[in-house]
Amino acid sequence: DAKTTQPTSMDCAEGRAANLPCNHSTISGNEYVYWYRQIHSQGPQYIIHGLKNNETNEMASLIITEDRKSSTLILPHATLRDTAVYYCIVSSNDYKLSFGAGTTVTVRA
Amino acid sequence: DTEVTQTPKHLVMGMTNKKSLKCEQHMGHRAMYWYKQKAKKPPELMFVYSYEKLSINESVPSRFSPECPNSSLLNLHLHALQPEDSALYLCASSQGTWLAANNEQFFGPGTRLTVL
């Protein structure tokens, strides 16, 4: 699977949008971009995934660049409960999810 | 029911003990997973079961022995563990279609294991 690069940490203000970038420059055509998050001491939680079109669900939006080499996860109105480690993962047609170091997001009041 | 449950929540064991971790899901998923997570590190895949058969073993030492008695249950049998095996053990499940489009994994809360 392609590797991903994410910033180590970022802060955002409560109520504002949080934009989390991810680079996956070696992604191949059949690989999807998945986002998970892990709130302290809990299991990871699936957020969203996509192939090449932008996706939106009740939790977040996923914007994938046209060349698919990077993506951005958008939390539209961050709350204190969104403080977590966010993982961007590229997955192909197998069962493996290879978690990188992720981005530690701290939402501040 | 969209939950993956794991028992126990916490486990302390000695190096000579035998214990088991249990995981259960009732979402009709046919793939189940064990991950290990050390403090301040990302989860690492250990085993994958697909349709109750072991399909992936990520070179895990034999002191960890997985078992999938049926499509809803997954066990991890532990024997002769070392202190460095202390970690959070996470179970997950997914539909099991072997398609990246459907690979959302649902995780349980984990079992925090301490080996003395």
pLDDT of residue A57: 96
- Matching residue, tokens 């990077």: A70
B108: contact with A, CB 8 A cutoff: yes
In the structure, what pLDDT confidence band is assigned to residue A2 with cuts at 50, 70 and 90? Answer: low
pLDDT tens, residue by residue, A13-48? 999 999 999 999 999 888 899 999 999 989 999 999
- Matching residue, tokens 């991903």: A4
pLDDT of residue A97: 85
Chosen from B104, B106, B111 to mutate, greatest number of chain A CBs within 10 A: B104
Yes or no, beta carbons of A93 and B98 under 8 Å apart: yes
| pLDDT exceeds 70 at position A104 | yes
3-class secondary structure, B76: strand
pLDDT of residue B74: 98
In the structure, what pLDDT confidence band is assigned to residue A53 with cuts at 50, 70 and 90? Answer: confident
Yes or no, beta carbons of A46 and B106 under 8 Å apart: yes
B104: contact with A, CB 8 A cutoff: yes
pLDDT of residue A78: 96
Select from A3, A69, A97 the least CA-distant residue to B100. Answer: A97
Residue segments in chain B with a per-residue pLDDT below the cut of 50: none
B5: contact with A, CB 8 A cutoff: no
pLDDT tens, residue by residue, B37-47? 999 999 999 99
Task: Tell me which residue in A42, A51, A96 faces B45 most closely, judged by beta carbons.
Answer: A96
* Nearest residue in B to A42, CA atom: B109
3-class secondary structure, A80: helix
- Matching residue, tokens 């030492």: B61
A71-85 in b/e form (b: 16+ CB < 10 A) is bbbbbeebeeebbbb
SS3 letters across A46-74: EEEEECCCCEECCCCEEEECCCCCEEEEE
Cβ-proximal residues to A27 (8 Å cutoff; 6+ apart), any chain: A2, A33, A68, A69, A90
pLDDT tens, residue by residue, A93-102? 677 888 999 9
